[in-house]
């Protein structure tokens, strides 16, 4: 007696070739799903790299802004300290919400070496900035930008945009929008303790 091996087709054909088409469409869909997943992973990787680049990918620009007291403040003069440099505006609700958190960081970590600098955007009227600083009792340094600092930091247009700069003068974190204060405080403390420069 002879054994006969029989294999089932991958899809049943109804005689008009639809079974073969179904297999082709299924393979195409799976290929598309895999491509989308790979692209998504690539984007996540790029974003993670930009957010957590060890040692900082970019050197902070050498900019000078004018404080509300009329004194020039050169970023390079803050070298040796971690700097939280934030572009803000009095008309930006998220910026205003961050003020108490930035003030807390300044009060708790300023004596250990942290410099918090709030740079008002060039379109913000100086009198309006002074009024908010006075009304909200902002303890950290507030400066006015003529537009050159925002351009030097990559043409910042939206606020709040914040840069964490390590003591070596490199940007180690950049954030558009409200900060994760717990994360930022942890990174600053690591810098102040000398356990991390990134």
Cβ atoms of residues 73 and 67 within 8 Å: yes
Tokens representing residue 70 in the block: 């009329």
Please enumerate in sequence order all residues whose Cβ is within 8 A of that of 168, keeping only pairs 6 or more positions apart, or say none. 55, 56, 79, 197
H or E element that contains 135: helix 126-135
pLDDT for res 195:
75
Q: Above pLDDT 70, what percent of the chain?
A: 75
Q: Above pLDDT 90, what percent of the chain?
A: 69
Q: At what angle do helices 181-192 and 93-109 cross, to 10 degrees?
A: 30
User: Is the pTM of the predicted complex or chain greater than 0.75?
Assistant: no
> How would residue 8 be classed by pLDDT, with cut points 50, 70 and 90?
very low
- Hey, is 17 helix, strand or coil? coil
Cis bond leading into 86, ω under 30°? no
DSSP state of 78: G
Mean pLDDT over the full length of the chain: 85
Return phi, psi of residue 84, to 5°: -105, 105
For the chain, give percent helix, strand, coil, nearest 5.
40, 20, 40
CB atoms within 10 A of CB 64: 15
pLDDT for res 180:
96
Q: Which of 35-49, 90-104, 154-168 has the lowest mean pLDDT?
A: 35-49
**Long-range CB contacts for residues 69-73, cutoff 8 Å, separation at least 24:** 73/117, 73/141, 73/143
pLDDT of 53 over the 50 cut: no
> How would residue 179 be classed by pLDDT, with cut points 50, 70 and 90?
very high
* Across 93-118, average pLDDT: 97
Q: Are strands 115-120 and 141-144 parallel, antiparallel or unpaired?
A: parallel
Cβ atoms of residues 167 and 81 within 8 Å: yes
* Across 51-80, average pLDDT: 85
């Amino acid at each position: 007696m002879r054994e006969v091996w029989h294999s089932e087709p991958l899809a049943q054909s109804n005689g008009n070739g639809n079974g073969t088409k179904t297999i082709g469409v299924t393979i195409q869909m799976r290929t598309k799903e895999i491509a989308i997943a790979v692209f998504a992973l690539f984007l996540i990787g790029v974003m993670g790299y930009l957010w957590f680049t060890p040692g900082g990918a970019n050197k902070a620009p050498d900019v000078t802004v004018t404080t509300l007291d009329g004194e020039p403040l050169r970023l390079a003069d803050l070298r040796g300290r971690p700097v939280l440099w934030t572009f803000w505006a009095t008309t930006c609700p998220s910026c205003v919400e961050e003020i108490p958190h930035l003030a807390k960081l300044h009060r708790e970590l300023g004596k250990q070496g942290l410099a918090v600098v709030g740079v008002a955007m060039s379109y913000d009227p100086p009198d309006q900035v002074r009024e908010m600083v006075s009304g909200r009792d902002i303890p950290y340094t507030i400066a006015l930008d003529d537009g050159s600092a925002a351009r030097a930091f990559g043409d910042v247009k939206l606020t709040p945009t914040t840069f964490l700069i390590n003591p070596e003068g490199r940007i180690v974190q950049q954030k558009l929008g409200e900060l994760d204060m717990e994360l930022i405080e942890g990174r600053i403390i690591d810098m102040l303790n000398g356990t991390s420069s990134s």
